[in-house]
Structure 1
């Protein structure tokens, strides 16, 4: 074989790839500098950070170019989705969606040293507001902070929420706002309305404090008193990239009985069953499928957190008993079908549930396949 056809040495090839990767990073840095200019333009012209139409155009264009270059369009689309998310984060950090003439306010975060309290402090601090952090370890007392603040946000454990609201509520000025970030809404909103003459808004961030980005994360908002403050709070959340869903406290708690109570309950049943079956976890991992691994990640993540967080979410929702009873009934029915070997009833059950999901199944197949692919990638390199 001639020397011309011989492959170049592996160390050389790797060095060349490293150099190209550094060039890619330089290009990304130049891209982010342009994003900073975009943020300034949007702020000056009152434009929203997220432009979904533009994002779709970018993704479609990059996928077409990737395919023309012989690159996998799906993988390239995933890379550009991450770039677009980073761009939105950059624009939010640069306050792209905050009008230049918006006056900074004083925002007190009661429970500001906790996980969600720190998130709220970052949200309003990034928007240029003066943030007062109040917690058990601060000299500043909650009542004092509430009397000084334009906005007081209660971010404490559910079990303490009502008592803290009733303590700080009377100190909130009539022209100010009292809000909370609790996972249930009917009881806290009622307590806020009863304890203050100021405006009242109930909120529930549908994410935990460990999220890598606020972009696209959902927060539920319940207007209770004072539309002007509700609009202000909505604009603040949107300016930081959050998606706001408005509802009533009763509708929120009804939805959370499914979104949180049912989800957490079935995860806990899975975890408790695994712990008591007697089969060591490492043994099952030797034979794991991607779907099983995904379920394990969700369960292990759940139990790695505080029971003091999840217990009150499930125990204080007014519809928890109905949801857990429905779960037990469904589990008993399915157990009977499986142990009896009745394939006809098993198929009928499948059809009933498939009909409930309807067209959502197509999205579920696509998105879960994407997640499974990412999990396989990461476990292969672990």
Structure 2
């Protein structure tokens, strides 16, 4: 090494050291600020936990959309005053709020104003059954479980059913109707005033079966979420009213107090909508995953070259294949009427493919614009909402 080269290396090292020394104190300041932020968040969560305890004691709802909307509005306004991005502050606040709901959801929510109920969950050791069992237990209710190996006319099962205020059916779709029939026969003899409800993802047949087989109150529920949720706040449950709503109003009130959004819908309408929301979406996702497998795609290479929006799409495909295939097969195979709708979807795929095969860009663009017009203002609304998800997907895969 020449003397000149040695001098250049020393000079570069000196500049590097000087540069580091020039902002090391700023890095230290950032570390101190970050620690302060963490402490403040911890203090906030402690306060929200106390609020949750008070809400539980008073029997108040966990989630107040008006209060949250006002809070977000005020914080966005304050961010503007400080020259900060309102979107940044809203993202931070919403994430903190979500963790607050999670903390409050974990609390035992016994209200001095509520009366303890006797609840039997048929299929209560399944994932969804356990989830609702946990909800009821935290409300101070007494939970009993009946599983498929239990005999309904056994002394133990009869004892549970005779004193039940609510029997909740939480079993696979393919056995729901037979279970309803068997349970209803026992209830009609021993506990006709009991509420009979189910949480199956199809509603028309189960609700009709409960109404025809059971003398008492009936309600069909469809939780639009899986058993892996962290909090009930902001989740949705479809409610298909059957009979004697006044008898099960306490159940709806409890779900509302946990922050669940209840959507009233006729059972037949529910199933028609689910053919789009669940059946078509799940089938398309399964088919797309199968296509990737048969094309022998290297997922690592796809991820390296993926835009954030495609990464999101791939995440949702992979998420489905991480779950139980029986669940999805039950949903997709639940109603033969879904086949007609699926065939119409395939016809529209073929029509769109024909535009490409015939190099007919004009027809493609015309079809695109007609669909855009059909979406109307929702197109721009969905674009804005998706921008937040895309940004998170671009943060080093932070949403995984």
- TM superposition score normalised by structure 1: 0.89
Distance 1:284 1:137, change over 3 A: same
Per-residue CA distance 1:132-151 (angstroms, 9 max, x = gap): 13335789965553333211
What residue number does 1:311 align with?
329
What residue number does 1:134 align with?
146
The counterpart of 1:353, out of the listed 371, 379, 386, is 371
Matched, 1:253 2:271: yes
What residue number does 2:317 align with?
299
Partners of 2:59 and 2:129 in 1: how far apart?
29
What residue number does 1:102 align with?
114
What residue number does 2:5 align with?
none
The answer on whether the counterparts of 1:152 and 1:177 sit within 8 Å (CA) in structure 2 is yes
Matched, 1:79 2:92: yes
Per-residue CA distance 1:153-200 (angstroms, 9 max, x = gap): 111111121122122222332221111100101111122223322211
SS in structure 2 at match of 1:109: strand
What residue number does 2:362 align with?
344
SS in structure 2 at match of 1:213: coil
The counterpart of 2:171, out of the listed 144, 148, 156, is 156
Per-residue CA distance 1:317-362 (angstroms, 9 max, x = gap): 3530221011111111011111211110010110121122111111
Partners of 2:265 and 2:116 in 1: how far apart?
28
What residue number does 2:7 align with?
none
SS in structure 2 at match of 1:245: strand
SS in structure 1 at match of 2:259: coil
The answer on whether the counterparts of 2:108 and 2:138 sit within 8 Å (CA) in structure 1 is yes
What residue number does 1:55 align with?
68
Count of residue correspondences: 379
The counterpart of 1:218, out of the listed 236, 239, 242, is 236
What residue number does 1:320 align with?
338
Distance 1:305 1:37, change over 3 A: closer
Query: Which runs of 5 or more structure 1 residues have no equivalent in the other structure?
Result: none
Distance 1:209 1:47, change over 3 A: closer
Matched, 1:122 2:140: no
What residue number does 2:211 align with?
193
Distance 1:364 1:210, change over 3 A: same
> Counterparts in 2 of 1:3-82, with a 5 A limit?
8=21, 16-39=29-52, 42=55, 47-82=60-95
Partners of 1:302 and 1:294 in 2: how far apart?
13
Q: Which has the larger radius of gyration?
A: 2
The counterpart of 2:186, out of the listed 171, 174, 180, is 171
Shift of 1:11: 7.3
Distance 1:24 1:169, change over 3 A: same
Partners of 2:141 and 2:303 in 1: how far apart?
49
SS in structure 1 at match of 2:240: strand
SS in structure 1 at match of 2:394: helix
Partners of 1:380 and 1:40 in 2: how far apart?
32
SS in structure 2 at match of 1:208: coil
SS in structure 2 at match of 1:305: coil
Distance 1:15 1:252, change over 3 A: same
Partners of 2:91 and 2:393 in 1: how far apart?
14
Distance 1:31 1:276, change over 3 A: same
Partners of 1:137 and 1:94 in 2: how far apart?
32
Distance 1:309 1:143, change over 3 A: farther
Distance 1:210 1:41, change over 3 A: closer
The answer on whether the counterparts of 1:204 and 1:220 sit within 8 Å (CA) in structure 2 is yes
The counterpart of 2:298, out of the listed 280, 290, 296, is 280
Bigger mean CA deviation after superposition, 123-132 or 38-47: 38-47
Distance 1:83 1:279, change over 3 A: closer
SS in structure 2 at match of 1:377: coil
Query: Which runs of 5 or more structure 2 residues have no equivalent in the other structure?
Result: 1-13
